[in-house]
Structure 1
Amino acid sequence: MKRKISALLVLVLIVSLLGACSKNESASADVVKNNEGSSNIQLEDDSGKMIQMDTPATKIISLYSAHTENLFALGLDNEIIGIGRSDAYPAAVMTKDRFDYRADPEKVIAVDPDLVLIRPRIKKSNPEFVQALENAGITVVSLYPDKFEEFPHYIKKLAILTGKEDVAEKLLTKFDSDLKNMENMTKNMKNKVNVFFESTETEYRTITKDSMAAMAIKLAGGNNIAADAKATRKGTSIASYGEERILEKADQIDVYVSQRGAMNSGGNLHSISIRPGFDTIKAVKEERVYTINEKLVSSPTFRFSKGVLELSRMFYPEEMDNLDEFKKEEPLTRAQLAKMAVKFKHKGIFAPTSKYYKKERKGHSFGTFKDVTINDPKFDYIETAALSSYVDTDKDHFYPDKKVTRDEFAKTLYMLTDLKDQEGTVNIKDIDKAENDRIVEIVVENGLMTLKQGNFMPTEMITEKEAVESLEKIKEIK
């Protein structure tokens, strides 16, 4: 009798363990690193195909911009031998050969990659292309996280394929920390704004409640007024909404955000305001219509945290862009000046598109400063300020730690606002020592900077506190 009971217990235990393993495998979506047998790497991609590789990939072609961006974030560069047609971030993509999944697969086969990364839509729309690569013995992996909660798992798959698991863990830890910090900053905002997010101008569609963009709105402290929207089809975050439902909530929409990207040109305040009936929307009447690059809020990359910050700046500009951090009696650096200027203007950070690189540029191009890396905390502020001409730069260097002179700051003030020329109403004794003499005169005439015993002292360093005081005077003369 005891033997029968023991056998029964063992059987129950085995069944329980198998059930637990099955649940665990389901939860982990079959991501495995296996050192036994003939394959060192084993995982299931998002098409349900089991992938096996002996070693991490070293010759990679990425045919989706998010994959490309995340590969660079993982510390890969030389390993990336090709990218897609529209990839635009980071700036290093410009050194890579471009490939097109709508073109002849022989171009890809000829360079003999050991990994080609795609997303499910590519396999669905161009199955012959994918099949040709697989027939040539090339490993093709299809990945795409449909929901925000799937992002960490997606990054871990990329990391396993490329041998960057440790880097991925650090990046995901920081990513999670950044988002929690943002949520803590915005969750107690008073008078939370109602937001309508236009994902495409076509039929004025929005986003599903479990999408990356919907999560960005939530973390930024906004209330998604279209949370009841339904997906246009299975496997997409684009949701139906339409003109009628938007106008029904016209007086409730505090902020209107229009997404711009490869698939959507996006509206702006003017183009949205002239749509029939849209001038009744509260956000339009109060000029709280904003545009945002889709890569910041709808694309599964680490830049998502930047997108959340950008949305919060749109929702709560006075709180998120206040200049309190600069009110110190310390010399103002060029990096601090860039951040100060962008915040003062409530200027959205610059995010390049593939079209940006097709133009001839005589001066600085995005991401090419030799003394400001993409990992610099002020990278986006510096790039945005430089490309907006708020701060003078040369083509290749920004000199972020250099102290700002009164002469240089006067020019920034001039670029930040429209000032009236008072035609020499103030006498400046040392104006001949100023490089930007006429600008200095105009700034002083408008009361934005003061003289010391009749002298401007253009080469003297300006403090952060003095700079903020000058910026605050701009508001007084408007």
Structure 2
Amino acid sequence: MRKVKKVAAIIVATITLATATGCGSQNTSAPHIDSAKSLGVKVNETTQVKRVIALANGSAEIISALGFKSLIIGRDIASTDAELKSIPIVTSGHQVIPEKIIALQPDLVIIDRSTGPEVALATLRKSGINVITIPEAWTLTDIPAKISSIAAAIGAPRSGQVLMTQFAKKLPQQLHERKKVRIAFLYLRGGSAIYLVGGKQSGADSLIAAIGATDVGAAKFSQPFTAMTSELMVSLNPDLILVMSKGLESVGGVEGLVDLPGVAQTAAGKAKRIISVDDSLLLSFGPRTPDLITQLSNEVEKVSQR
């Protein structure tokens, strides 16, 4: 999925586990979070640009939340808020197609370090298009800087400040008081035989901490992702497993996930305590994140009672 230093880290960490079947029935379903409400502000402010292509991860969602959806003429595949449905995706997966972007005649193209390939970006710059790089966000504390950079790029700094203030107010602080649940975040791509356990800076660790739970992978590993093995899963023994929805589907649903090495021997596997979140939503780290955290906390509370 897209988003894990995460898109790049996942690609680098691609590992095949020959013992994993990735098969199984889909008779058991997992609670699924497929959408979240976005924050939004409206400030009387005139921007410096009129036509923006937002290619940085989730940047179109932030521009829309700032009140300037009308500026966006193209978006990245990761900006999936329903409000943006009418705006075309102008990348092939995560790859930039310069001819397609140049044809739209943008004033500004917003990218981040994950945007590429570099040769395509060089073509955009040579064509005279203003290309601005904004910082990525993989934790809750990264989001204000991302908002600020995007607001500055389009010439709407006051809107950015208002959105950052709203973001801080909407984060559900009280969730830190709940009893800790041990959660493992798994990145799964059954079709490619990729099975990874999230660690520190996977992105999911920030969300798990925000709901007052413990990320067992992050507690053990300093790197974002580690190959999943039977021994590792048994040693981590999570109470609950968090996955992306397409990843869960790729291994055959809940039953297929439980069939993966060591999962059935964990407390989560035995009770089939699994939660899936839409791929684009989970690591979007933007205006939908506060509502996602609230929903995730509620689902964890329900599932952990099993």
Using structure 2 for the length normalisation, give the TM-score.
0.73
* CA–CA separation in structure 2 for the residues paired with 1:266 and 1:122: 28
Partner of 1:195: 183
Q: What amino acid is the match of 1:113?
A: P
Residue aligning to 1:91 = 82
Residue in 1 that maps onto 2:102: 109
**Are the aligned partners of 1:195 and 1:225 in contact in 2 as well (CA < 8 Å)?**
yes
Question: 1:26-74 deviations in whole A, cap 9, x for unaligned?
Answer: xxxxxxxxxxxxxxxxxxxxxxxxxxxxx72211011245011111111
What's the % identity of the aligned pairs?
Answer: 23
RMSD (CA atoms): 2.8
In 2, the alpha carbon distance for the partners of 1:145 and 1:306 equals 20
Decide whether aligned partners of structure 1 residues 258 and 111 sit closer, same or farther in structure 2, where only a CA change above 3 A counts. closer
For 1:210 and 1:230, the matched residues in 2 are separated by 8
Query: Which residues of 2 match residues 76-225 of structure 1 at below 5 A?
Result: 76-84=68-76, 86-87=77-78, 89-100=80-91, 102=95, 104-123=97-116, 126-148=117-139, 149-179=141-171, 182-184=172-174, 186-190=175-179, 192-201=180-189, 203-225=194-216
How far off is 1:281 after superposition?
1.3
Contact 1:211 1:298 survives alignment (8 Å): no
| Residue 67 of structure 1, aligned match among 59, 80, 86 | 59
Please report how far the alpha carbon of residue 187 of structure 1 lies from its aligned counterpart in structure 2 after TM superposition.
2.5
State how 1:345-424 maps to structure 2 within 5 Å. none
What residue in structure 2 maps to residue 317 of structure 1? 302
| Corresponding residue SS for 2:152 | helix
Could you tell me which residue of structure 1 aligns to residue 228 of structure 2?
242
- For 2:244 and 2:60, locate their aligned partners in 1 and report how far apart those are by CA, in whole Å: 21
User: 2:53, 2:73 within 8 Å by CA — same for their partners in 1?
Assistant: yes
Structure 2 CA distance for partners of 1:281 and 1:117, relative to 1, 3 Å: same
8 Å CA contact 1:258–1:268 kept in 2: the answer is no
Post-superposition offset of 1:95: 2.1
3-state SS of paired residue (1:121): coil
- Distance in 2 (CA, whole Å) between partners of 1:267 and 1:170 is 44
Match of 2:242 in 1: 257
Whichever of the two has the greater Rg, that structure is 1
Letter in 2 for 1:82: G
How far residue 265 of structure 1 moved from its aligned partner, in angstroms, is 4.4
- Equivalent-residue separation in structure 2 for 1:144 and 1:265 (angstroms): 31
CA spacing shift, 1:88–1:116, aligned 2, 3 Å: closer
Distance 1:318 1:278 in 2: 17
Alignment of 1:262-273 (within 5 A): 265=250, 268-273=253-258
Letter in 1 for 2:162: K
Distance 1:301 1:61 in 2: 17
Shift of 1:319: 10
Q: Answer whether contact 1:297 1:308 (CA < 8 A) is retained.
A: no
C-alpha separation between the residues in 1 aligned to 2:88 and 2:303? 44
- 1:88 positional shift: 5.5
- The code of the aligned residue for 2:161 comes to E
Q: Is the strand fraction higher in 1 or 2?
A: 2
Gaps of 5+ in 2: 1-46
Q: Secondary structure at the match of 1:137?
A: coil
Distance in 2, matches of 1:270 and 1:79, equals: 45
Tell me the distance in 2 between the aligned counterparts of 1:276 and 1:297: 24
Q: How many angstroms does 1:239 deviate by?
A: 1.2
Q: How many residues align?
A: 251
- In the TM superposition, what whole-angstrom CA distance separates every residue of 1:97-138 from its partner, at most 9, and x where no partner exists? 332264652332222211011221223xx1121111100110
Give 1:257 deviation, angstroms.
Answer: 1.0
Residue of structure 2 equivalent to 1:297? 282
Amino acid paired to 2:293: V
Q: Is 1:118–1:140's contact at 8 Å kept on the other side of the alignment?
A: yes
Cα drift, residue 291 of structure 1: 0.9
Kindly provide the amino acid, as one letter, of the partner of residue 120 in structure 1.
R
**1:307/1:206 CA distance change after superposition, 3 Å:** farther
SS at match of 1:196: strand
Structure 1 distance, partners of 2:112, 2:88, is 19
* AA partner of residue 287 (structure 1): K
Q: Deviations over 1:355-404 (max 9, x none)?
A: xxxxxxxxxxxxxxxxxxxxxxxxxxxxxxxxxxxxxxxxxxxxxxxxxx
Q: Tell me, yes or no, if the aligned pair for 1:266 and 1:291 is still in contact at 8 Å.
A: no
SS of 1:240's partner is: strand
Counterpart amino acid of residue 233 in structure 2: I
The structure-2 alpha-carbon separation of the partners of 1:108 and 1:262, relative to structure 1 and needing over 3 Å to count, comes to: farther
2:254–2:274 contact (8 Å) kept in structure 1:
yes
Q: Once the 2 structures are TM-superposed, how far is the Cα of residue 248 of structure 1 from its aligned partner?
A: 1.9
